[in-house]
Structure 1
Amino acid sequence: MPGGPGRSCPRPFLAVTWAVNVCINAFYIAPAPVFPEMIPDLGITKALAGSLISFYLVAILLLQLPAGFVIDRFDPRPIVVAAGFGLTGLSAVMTTFPNYDALLLLRVLAGIPVAFIFVPSAFLVSRAFEHTPGRAVGMFLSAPPAGVALGTLLAPLLAAALGWPAVFVAFNLPLLGLLPAFYRLARGLPPRAPEAFGLGDYLQAFRNRELWKVGLAFACSYAAYIFFASWTPTYLTVIGLEDLALVGVIAATIPAVGILSRPLGGHLAETRFARDKRWVPGLAFLGLLLVSAFTPLFALGGLPLLVAAGFSAQFPFSVYYLFSAQVMPKRFGGSAYAFMNTVSLVGGAISPALAGLLVDVTGAFVAAFAMMAVNATLGLGLVAVVRER
């Protein structure tokens, strides 16, 4: 990534990159808050509506490692800009043709450019803050929960004013102004000349055992995050919480607390725990273990523990990216970030479905929380065998 003629402005670059990723994460969640209006209008089932979210994520998952390969072979700055404009165009078509088959196809296609936005953005942020990448990446990683919160809050209001099809394009329209600013500020980043490598070299890099240890630990953290974020509303109704507004507030707080916990984890990894960053995920998994063990015992009295679970699950996210960049050769820095994203998404895909199966089989959430306790224990074990960094 050769340096450009621009002056280095890392903080404005972080702010703009953060805003770009807030937009794409608001777009990701935007259909869900308007399902009550969309489902009868399109004449579809709830399962089909949910596929607008899940198939979009599958497309992103499948393109993560190819995106990492491209990042390490080419300059990612124009790729992010092109992907952002492509995403905006696709979202405009979604709003123009609001029928289910078109929306599903377009959502799958939209996952392709998104795969070339988030990981390159995180990688570029780490390049902009070479001396404090943990804190910078932690701040950047607060964009997804902020975007999800923004999309959840504003989508119903936009639907009421403009109709539900408008939510598909509304959150990407700011990209038209943000992407030129992103490219202008990115020109001042520290230089990095991508090294040539073959496909064999690329595949060989992923045989690194330390990388897999870190990736699996991230999968455990992300599995816990998605479990608590997705199943909390149902769990609260099962244990007798009848105030739907309170259920919504608690459920929304679990991802939203990541706006604080993700940057804090990166900050502590480079300050208080700089000598051994494993303390950050270690403490997080310990917290998840305690929450998973005690939440079912307290029923309604355990509501604060659910928020604590959301905090703990997201607390070590930036540390995993730091570890992966240290484990992989520098020429594969972008691929290291892509690998972390890929493995974490797999963990997030497995946990809610497995938890639902356990609840169906046993008739209670105790088994699902026991699964999360096992997951936290596994995470602790993985962190313990990662080399001190």
Structure 2
Amino acid sequence: MSNTRWRLFGLLLLLVTVNYVDRGSLSVALPMIKDEFGIGPEVTGVLLSVFFWAYAAMQIPAGWLIDRFGPRRLITAACLGWGGATALTGLAPNTATMAVGRAALGAAEAPIMPAGGKLNAVFLTEKERGRGATILDAGAPLGSAFGGVAITGLIAATGSWRWAFIAAGAATMLLGFWAWRAIRDTPETHPRVDDAERAHLARARADENARHQATGRRAGLVHYLRYRSFWAMCLGWLGFNGVFYGLLTWGPLFLSESKGFDLGAIGWSTFVIFGAGFVGEILGGQLADRLRDRGFGTNAVLRSLLGFAGLCVIGGLVGVVLVPGPVAAIVLLSTVLFFLRWVGLFWAVPAILGGTEDAGVLGGAMNLAGNVSGFITPIAVGLIVGATGGYTGALLYFVGAGVIMTISVLVLDYSTRLAPRATSAPVQGGAA
């Protein structure tokens, strides 16, 4: 069997990695940008937030377009668009034009994760989707880790944060052409999927659809709004991103202003912290699928793994507040990211709840909810830091987000598909 599906998810890992290098470049370069433009923490928070406003606003439209036109076209357009926006941000003469560039970046990046969720539903079997979800989402900590090193390295090599942004954007646009050649919307249309792999996936999809009595038609987002599991999915991702985006956007400044790290130390510390997240995410996906292969139920596996991870995240963040040393901060934040990224398993949830037909729009809704945290968190942290002159309140804000995430992952029913059934039988479980 050709196993093209796993090479496809390797490419998605690369795309999401570059995605996070580009979106995190502003945070890494902020010490230089703040000096050049003379901005305070409140304006910094707004500037960091602009990306997420546009990114969140485009999630549901992007998910609908993916279900309608397929992920291949949307991923290619996204790569070209966000690469161009990254390069143009490097030319910004002031904070207003930089904000416009960041908004364009957010809008262009919006289809990537919902498209990955759609490909997870179409190209992988039910017992492979945990690994697929975490391979896809592992690009977030990997890009955040390498982004710190890559952007600081480019700044050091060129002597300018502007040229670093231009180079990163040009590389992303080239990846768009590769994506068009390598991605297809279904296994049946992919030239590198052989007959054995195609038959394997077709059998698995037929068995899954028969078991869930799938209609083969899209139900649309409104159908899912009455189910508890839909809202738990959204709130879980909101809490998750309250922690992750908080550390992604304000983490470098926290290390600079609270721990006294210079630019080089920030780059390598970011690599260690988010690199731990990448390792944790890959291991979490492997562990979830292996436990399911051994016969443990989906609810038992995901609730236990993600509930334990949530407790570790909360404990680690409280530890950063109580233990002020710089080395302890790196160790504790690395632990937080290691367990936080287990919740990347959530990218299998749109396929679980909506099947192949509605995975795109459900992924968009989930990511919209998550990115509400994206645009609130940078502003909230900026206001907290500006008002208190320190980061203790911001860390407690992250603890609150971790609590929301932990409750949600324990409430969600991972075993019941919410899509309409061919027999029109009522869905058991997950109803609000």
TM-score by length of 1: 0.81
Query: Does residue 134 of structure 2 align to residue 134 of structure 1?
Result: no
Does structure 2 conserve the Cα–Cα contact (< 8 Å) formed by 1:30 and 1:152?
Answer: yes
- Give the Cα–Cα distance (whole angstroms) in 2 for the partners of residues 71 and 173 of structure 1: 25
Query: Residue 336 and residue 242 in structure 1: after superposition, are their counterparts in 2 closer, same or farther (change >3 A)?
Result: same
Aligned to 1:45: 39
Give the deviation of 1:248 after TM superposition: 6.1
Query: Does residue 333 of structure 2 align to residue 306 of structure 1?
Result: yes
Q: Deviations over 1:56-84 (max 9, x none)?
A: 22111110111111111222212211232
Q: Secondary structure of the equivalent of 2:9?
A: helix
Does structure 2 conserve the Cα–Cα contact (< 8 Å) formed by 1:31 and 1:52?
Answer: no
- Give the Cα–Cα distance (whole angstroms) in 1 for the partners of residues 43 and 384 of structure 2: 23
The correspondence for 2:290, drawn from 247, 264, 271, is 271
- Give the Cα–Cα distance (whole angstroms) in 2 for the partners of residues 36 and 104 of structure 1: 17
Does structure 2 conserve the Cα–Cα contact (< 8 Å) formed by 1:119 and 1:337?
Answer: yes
- Give the Cα–Cα distance (whole angstroms) in 2 for the partners of residues 103 and 355 of structure 1: 20
Aligned to 1:4: none
User: 2:170 is aligned with what amino acid?
Assistant: L
Does structure 1 conserve the Cα–Cα contact (< 8 Å) formed by 2:151 and 2:164?
Answer: yes
Mapping 1:135-174, distance limit 5 Å: 135-162=131-158, 163-174=160-171
User: 1:296 is aligned with what amino acid?
Assistant: V
User: 2:307 is aligned with what amino acid?
Assistant: G
Q: Which piece of structure 1 moves more, 9-18 or 375-384?
A: 375-384
User: 1:134 is aligned with what amino acid?
Assistant: G
- Give the Cα–Cα distance (whole angstroms) in 1 for the partners of residues 68 and 87 of structure 2: 31
Give the deviation of 1:263 after TM superposition: 1.8
Query: Residue 179 and residue 298 in structure 1: after superposition, are their counterparts in 2 closer, same or farther (change >3 A)?
Result: closer
Unmatched 5+ stretches in structure 1 = 1-6
The correspondence for 1:335, drawn from 357, 361, 384, is 361
Q: Deviations over 1:230-253 (max 9, x none)?
A: 5556766888x5565666644553
- Give the Cα–Cα distance (whole angstroms) in 1 for the partners of residues 403 and 30 of structure 2: 37
Does structure 2 conserve the Cα–Cα contact (< 8 Å) formed by 1:145 and 1:255?
Answer: yes
Give the deviation of 1:212 after TM superposition: 0.5
Query: Residue 25 and residue 364 in structure 1: after superposition, are their counterparts in 2 closer, same or farther (change >3 A)?
Result: closer
User: 1:60 is aligned with what amino acid?
Assistant: Y
Q: Deviations over 1:351-379 (max 9, x none)?
A: 55556666777787665555555544444
- Give the Cα–Cα distance (whole angstroms) in 1 for the partners of residues 257 and 21 of structure 2: 29
- Give the Cα–Cα distance (whole angstroms) in 2 for the partners of residues 110 and 288 of structure 1: 29
User: 2:332 is aligned with what amino acid?
Assistant: L
Does structure 2 conserve the Cα–Cα contact (< 8 Å) formed by 1:126 and 1:136?
Answer: no
The correspondence for 2:408, drawn from 379, 382, 385, is 382
The correspondence for 1:224, drawn from 226, 239, 243, is 243
Does structure 2 conserve the Cα–Cα contact (< 8 Å) formed by 1:84 and 1:114?
Answer: yes
Does structure 1 conserve the Cα–Cα contact (< 8 Å) formed by 2:131 and 2:289?
Answer: yes
Query: Residue 92 and residue 247 in structure 1: after superposition, are their counterparts in 2 closer, same or farther (change >3 A)?
Result: closer
The correspondence for 1:257, drawn from 266, 271, 276, is 276
Aligned to 1:17: 12
Q: Secondary structure of the equivalent of 1:45?
A: coil
Aligned to 2:93: 99
Q: Secondary structure of the equivalent of 1:272?
A: helix
Q: Deviations over 1:291-335 (max 9, x none)?
A: 344443443384333321222222222x22223321235421111
Does structure 1 conserve the Cα–Cα contact (< 8 Å) formed by 2:44 and 2:382?
Answer: no
The correspondence for 1:85, drawn from 59, 80, 89, is 80
Query: Does residue 342 of structure 2 align to residue 315 of structure 1?
Result: yes
The correspondence for 2:310, drawn from 285, 291, 301, is 285
Query: Residue 352 and residue 60 in structure 1: after superposition, are their counterparts in 2 closer, same or farther (change >3 A)?
Result: closer
- Give the Cα–Cα distance (whole angstroms) in 2 for the partners of residues 257 and 12 of structure 1: 23
TM-score by length of 2: 0.74
Q: Which piece of structure 1 moves more, 102-111 or 210-219?
A: 102-111
Give the deviation of 1:209 after TM superposition: 1.9
Query: Residue 179 and residue 363 in structure 1: after superposition, are their counterparts in 2 closer, same or farther (change >3 A)?
Result: closer
Does structure 2 conserve the Cα–Cα contact (< 8 Å) formed by 1:195 and 1:331?
Answer: yes
User: 1:283 is aligned with what amino acid?
Assistant: F
Q: Deviations over 1:268-303 (max 9, x none)?
A: 221136522211210111212333444434433843
Unmatched 5+ stretches in structure 2 = 190-214, 416-432
Query: Residue 356 and residue 40 in structure 1: after superposition, are their counterparts in 2 closer, same or farther (change >3 A)?
Result: closer
The correspondence for 2:182, drawn from 181, 185, 189, is 185
Does structure 2 conserve the Cα–Cα contact (< 8 Å) formed by 1:91 and 1:172?
Answer: yes
User: 2:349 is aligned with what amino acid?
Assistant: F
Give the deviation of 1:18 after TM superposition: 2.0
Give the deviation of 1:132 after TM superposition: 0.6
Cα RMSD (Å) of the superposition? 3.5
- Give the Cα–Cα distance (whole angstroms) in 1 for the partners of residues 247 and 100 of structure 2: 29
- Give the Cα–Cα distance (whole angstroms) in 2 for the partners of residues 336 and 180 of structure 1: 27
How many residue pairs get aligned? The number is 377
User: 2:348 is aligned with what amino acid?
Assistant: L
Query: Residue 24 and residue 137 in structure 1: after superposition, are their counterparts in 2 closer, same or farther (change >3 A)?
Result: same
- Give the Cα–Cα distance (whole angstroms) in 2 for the partners of residues 370 and 52 of structure 1: 22
Q: Secondary structure of the equivalent of 1:173?
A: helix
Q: Secondary structure of the equivalent of 2:65?
A: helix
Aligned to 1:116: 111
